[in-house]
């Protein structure tokens, strides 16, 4: 199947051709015709599936042949949870719409509002916005909604996680009742369902597997290591494994800053991106990372949302995430668009429960390694897959027919690991043995950390 079979116009096909997209991804196959027909869409899809093009391509096509936009009005509103994702979507609009004469812009908080007000003056075909800043602009009469034809809620689950439900309700109440609604979310919690019940009218429901859950293109494994030696191990791995560009996740902002200081102290170019950094600083850091001026980018989960760098080869979990689903989101930063990648976690004994939760979610025991010189004194207990059915993006429930009124491989070095309980390693015992008398497999010649 090719993009031309959707009836997309020549300027869009030319832009896709230049980007090197030859075959539509599954979500695009399903969503493009639905959006083109003007229907509401509800899609369970994560970043990395190609969801952005799935909604943008048909929207741009429709916009190109529609009515002219009035001053301060907008025709399409795309709401995104974070500034990074909003900028990413705006970049995609610029790319896919390169040969169309549509006007678009992006607004988000943490920067001056006046330049954003200026851009809205002449009206826009597409506005990408974070909810808080959009409401600020509305309160200043800088944006008017009566010409809105389509609303896109991207990463709706993350918007609710970030506490934007109140702002979203306010925005929904301001929009014209007759409009097309497109909702994308990685998960469908009760809260998301409540939102969709009120929002969507007879939506076309789309569910695609997260590309990384199949783990076909991303190799995943863990290094067992003592907590206090994690940063030394990371420096060692970056230097010795030839990791030229790694995205490293920490759980906290302070942890990210501490790790950057340590890496820089070890002579590795590194910078952090998190919520306490100004937008200007975050944009600069991201640009430096993309331009290969920074080797290691340390990020917290929220800040990393929307970072889209195709050539990203390594994603490192310095800390395991508290929420297992975040592991899948993190690993989804690499191995995109079919390119290979490696997802590596540094795991200490105290993170055993988190590890077990992740393995049960992805239905795979992660391969374990111990790096020569970093053999842990606190051994990471063995795990087994819990019988709990992993939480998958659930098939969205059919919403009420109601318009919105009131108101997201064996051990890396070779051997395949079997599913089920971990195979005890040499001299090892299975989980449940209080003192696991086992000798971890050590990479390299050296066997023990002295
Ligand atoms: P997204 O899920 O929208 O963040 O997209 C994931 C990545 O896949 C982005 O880097 C897109 O540029 C890329 N992409 C999306 N659709 C295609 C396609 N049909 N062919 C090749 N790459 C694509």
φ/ψ (deg, to 5) at 209: -70, 140
Residue 323 host element (H or E): none
Beta carbons within 8 Å of 169's beta carbon, 6+ residues apart: 406, 407
In which band, very low, low, confident or very high, does the pLDDT at 195 lie, cut at 50, 70 and 90?
Answer: confident
Q: Is the pLDDT of residue 7 over 80?
A: yes
| Residue predicted with more confidence, 77 or 334 | 77
Instruction: Give the closest residue (by CA) to ligand 1 atom 21.
Output: 21
User: CATH assignment of 218-388+423-443?
Assistant: 3.40.50.300
φ/ψ (deg, to 5) at 106: -130, 140
In which band, very low, low, confident or very high, does the pLDDT at 226 lie, cut at 50, 70 and 90?
Answer: very high
Q: Is the pLDDT of residue 120 over 80?
A: yes
Determine the distance separating the centroid of ligand 1 and the alpha carbon of 2, expressed in angstroms: 15
The conformation of residue 385, written as its DSSP 8-state character, comes to: -
Tell me what pLDDT residue 301 has.
79
Mutation choice for ligand 1 from 29, 89, 336, CB with most ligand atoms inside 8 A: 336
Query: Is 294 in contact with 71 (CB distance < 8 Å)?
Result: no
Determine the distance separating the centroid of ligand 1 and the alpha carbon of 28, expressed in angstroms: 10
Per-domain residue ranges of the chain: 3-207, 218-388+423-443
The conformation of residue 68, written as its DSSP 8-state character, comes to: P
Q: Taking residues 428-433, report their average pLDDT.
A: 36
Q: Quick one: CATH architecture of 3-207?
A: 3-Layer(aba) Sandwich (3.40)
* Burial class of residue 22 in the structure, from the number of CB atoms within 10 Å of its CB (0-12 exposed, 13-18 middle, 19+ buried): exposed
Instruction: Give the closest residue (by CA) to ligand 1 atom 1.
Output: 50
CA distance 56 to 43: 14
Closest atom of ligand 1 to 20 CA is 21
Q: Which whole-number Å values give the CA distances from 31 to 52, 64, 159, 397, in the listed order?
A: 10, 18, 21, 18
Q: Is the pLDDT of residue 180 over 80?
A: yes
Determine the distance separating the centroid of ligand 1 and the alpha carbon of 24, expressed in angstroms: 9
Q: Is 218-388+423-443 the same fold as 3-207?
A: yes
Determine the distance separating the centroid of ligand 1 and the alpha carbon of 30, expressed in angstroms: 15
CA distance 147 to 34: 21
The conformation of residue 5, written as its DSSP 8-state character, comes to: G
Determine the distance separating the centroid of ligand 1 and the alpha carbon of 225, expressed in angstroms: 35
Determine the distance separating the centroid of ligand 1 and the alpha carbon of 353, expressed in angstroms: 34
Nearest partner of 370 among 449, 424, 316, judged by Cα: 449
Determine the distance separating the centroid of ligand 1 and the alpha carbon of 231, expressed in angstroms: 33
**What is the percent of the chain where pLDDT is above 90?**
56
CA distance 331 to 248: 10
Tell me: the pLDDT tens digits for 18-57? Answer: 999 989 999 999 999 999 999 999 998 877 789 999 999 9
Which letter, b or e, does each residue of 176-203 get, where b requires 16 or more Cβ atoms within 10 Å of its Cβ? eeebbbbbbbbbbeeebbebbebbbbeb
Q: Is the pLDDT of residue 423 over 70?
A: no
Instruction: Give the closest residue (by CA) to ligand 1 atom 6.
Output: 48
Q: Is the pLDDT of residue 104 over 90?
A: yes
Q: Taking residues 102-106, report their average pLDDT.
A: 97
Beta carbons within 8 Å of 217's beta carbon, 6+ residues apart: 211, 335, 338, 339, 340, 341
Which residue do the tokens 């293109």 mark? 217
Closest atom of ligand 1 to 45 CA is 2
Per 3-state DSSP, the chain is made up of helix, strand and coil in percentages (nearest 5) of 35, 15, 45
In this structure, the residues whose C-beta lies within 6 A of any atom of ligand 1 are 21, 23-25, 28, 47-53, 308, 310, 336-337
Mutation choice for ligand 1 from 45, 53, 88, CB with most ligand atoms inside 8 A: 53
Q: Taking residues 112-138, report their average pLDDT.
A: 97
Q: What is the pTM of this model?
A: 0.59
Q: Is the pLDDT of residue 400 over 60?
A: no
Nearest partner of 334 among 211, 423, 171, 155, judged by Cα: 211
Closest atom of ligand 1 to 310 CA is 10
């Amino acid at each position: 199947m090719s993009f031309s079979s959707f009836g997309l116009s020549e300027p869009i096909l030319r832009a896709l051709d230049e980007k090197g997209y030859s075959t539509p991804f599954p979500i695009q196959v399903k969503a493009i015709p639905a959006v083109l027909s003007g229907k509401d869409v509800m899609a369970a899809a994560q970043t990395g599936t190609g969801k952005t093009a799935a909604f943008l391509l048909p929207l741009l096509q429709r916009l190109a042949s529609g009515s002219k936009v009035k001053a301060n009005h907008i025709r399409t509103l795309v709401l995104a949870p974070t500034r990074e994702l909003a900028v990413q979507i705006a970049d995609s609009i610029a790319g896919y719409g390169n040969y169309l004469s549509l006007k678009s812009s992006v607004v988000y908080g943490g920067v001056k509002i006046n330049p954003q007000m200026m851009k809205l003056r002449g009206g826009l075909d597409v506005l990408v916005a974070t909810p808080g800043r959009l409401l600020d602009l509305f309160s200043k009469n800088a944006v008017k909604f009566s010409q809105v034809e389509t609303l896109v809620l991207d990463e709706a689950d993350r918007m609710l996680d970030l506490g934007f439900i109140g702002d979203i309700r306010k925005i929904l109440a301001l929009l014209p009742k007759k409009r097309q609604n497109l909702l994308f979310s990685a998960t469908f919690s009760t809260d998301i369902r409540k939102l969709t019940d009120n929002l969507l009218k007879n939506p076309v429901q789309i569910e695609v597997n997260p590309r990384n859950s199949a783990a076909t293109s991303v190799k995943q494994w863990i290094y067992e290591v003592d907590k206090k030696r994690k940063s030394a191990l990371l420096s060692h791995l970056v230097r010795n494994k030839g990791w030229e560009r790694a995205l490293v996740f920490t759980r906290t902002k302070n942890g990210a800053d501490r790790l950057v200081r340590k890496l820089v102290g070890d002579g590795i170019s590194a910078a952090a991106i998190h919520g306490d950094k100004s937008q200007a600083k975050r944009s600069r850091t991201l640009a430096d990372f993309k331009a290969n001026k920074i080797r290691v980018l340390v990020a917290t989960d929220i800040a990393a949302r929307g970072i889209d760098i195709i050539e990203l080869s390594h994603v490192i979990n310095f800390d395991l995430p508290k929420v297992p689903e975040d592991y899948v989101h993190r690993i989804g930063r690499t191995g995109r668009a079919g390119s290979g990648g490696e997802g590596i976690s540094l795991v200490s004994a105290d993170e055993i429960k988190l590890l077990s939760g992740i393995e049960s979610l992805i239905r795979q025991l992660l391969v374990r390694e111990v790096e020569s010189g970093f053999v842990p004194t606190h051994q990471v207990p063995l795990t087994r897959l819990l019988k709990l059915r992993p939480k998958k993006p659930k098939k969205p429930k059919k919403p009420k027919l109601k318009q919105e009124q009131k108101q997201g491989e064996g051990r890396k070095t070779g051997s395949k690991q079997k599913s089920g309980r971990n195979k005890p390693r040499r001299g090892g015992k299975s989980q449940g043995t209080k003192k696991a008398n086992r000798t971890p497999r050590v990479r390299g010649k050296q066997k023990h950390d002295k």
